[in-house]
Amino acid sequence: MSDTVRYETKDRKAYLTLNRPDRLNAIDDELARALPRAVERADEDPEVHVIIVRGAGRAFCSGYDLKDYAEGGAGAQGEAWDPVRDYRMMKRHTDEYFSLWRSLKPTIAQVHGYAVAGGSDIALSCDMVVMADDARIGYMPSRVWGCPTTAMWVYRLGAERAKRMLLTGDTIDGRQAAEWGLVLESVPAERLGERVEALADRIAGVPVNQLVMQKLMINQAYDNMGLQGTQILATLFDGIARHSPEGRWFQRFAAEHGFHEAVRWRDSGRWIPEGGGPVPSARDLEDPR
């Protein structure tokens, strides 16, 4: 097993810990590929009844590790964009996260700090999410350069609140996420581990075959509502978002001023020029609006 996803078991529970704390558990290829292997290992262990996913250090997951990609164009395609090549790459990542949803055994995300951008895809791919009150969740790249490929925002929130989140790129805290029904519940940060353990212990007392049947039945209802087709569309749109004129503007911005400065501009609510346009100068960056 990769060190980027630490695997442990205890009392019928498997713990999958995202383990890149120095990068706030940002997703790289190694972490993304290690996740479904850890899920498969838990699925195949007859002693495991429930899977807990958590993050080491200060956050659950801060999203894709995009600094090199954005600043240097690593992995980016040229002017002749191949959508199928892009789709293959992002479909693989979507399937890796969705191994948590497709797992035969129940999965619980234990979210502290941040579960944002691609990190929200991982959290929302779990069957249940328990957040700390002060944790933040959101998909900021919906402002420019991304579309959530798992599409779980709409299936958890419904159309109006999903639009509220994805048309703004805002984040919300655990309390609001629980109030809206995006996550199961929110608790004070110091009680997060205790609450997840109590929930997992309650589930772990149920025979595995019962857990599998209930989960398959519920998941099938979502498949009947078109979940797979929605994910295909979302995954294609994610590639388009990164290669649209505005997406290329964002990448040029990151290459010139650094990824963190580009993200700061995007998340501040400042205008993103339609059709691309010139990248802001260093003087423009000093203007708070």
C-alpha distances out from residue 215 to 107, 114, 225, Å? 10, 27, 16
Q: What is the mean pLDDT of residues 248-266?
A: 93
Least confident of 19-33, 70-84, 92-106, 228-242: 70-84
Q: Which candidate, 134, 149, 174, places its Cα nearest to that of 91?
A: 149
Report the alpha-carbon distance of residue 263 to residue 24 in Å, rounded.
16
Range 52-69 average pLDDT:
93
- Fold entry, domain 5-240: 2-enoyl-CoA Hydratase; Chain A, domain 1 (3.90.226)
d(CA 17, CA 25): 9
Instruction: Give, to the nearest 10 degrees, the angle between helix 29-44 and helix 83-102.
Output: 30
Report which DSSP code applies to 279. P
Q: Does residue 148 surpass a pLDDT of 80?
A: yes
pLDDT at position 178 over 90: yes
- What is the percentage of the chain residues whose pLDDT exceeds 70? 96
Task: List, for residues 197-245, the tens digit of each pLDDT value.
Answer: 999 999 999 999 999 999 999 999 999 999 999 999 999 999 999 999 9
Supply 155's token pair.
């299936």
Judge whether residue 71 has pLDDT over 90: no
Q: Exposed, middle or buried: residue 230 (CB in 10 Å: 0-12, 13-18, 19+)?
A: middle
Q: Whole-prediction pTM value?
A: 0.96
Q: What's the angle, vertex CA 126, arms to CA 124 and CA 132, rounded to 5?
A: 70
The residue ranges of every structural domain in the chain are: 5-240, 244-285
The two three-digit tokens of residue 94, written as one number: 């979507």
For residue 118, which amino acid is it? G
3-state secondary structure of 53: strand
Q: What is the pLDDT of residue 78?
A: 63
Q: Evaluate if residue 288 carries a pLDDT over 60.
A: no
Which comes out higher in pLDDT, residue 75 or 179? 179
Mean pLDDT of 176-200: 98
The span from the CA of 126 to the CA of 107, in Å, is 5
| Exposure string for 109-129, b = 16+ CB within 10 A, e = fewer | bbbbbbbbbbbbbbbbbbbbb
Of the ranges 57-71, 79-93, 117-131, the best mean pLDDT one: 117-131
Q: How confident is the model at residue 79 (pLDDT cuts 50, 70, 90)?
A: low
Strand, helix or coil at 60?
coil
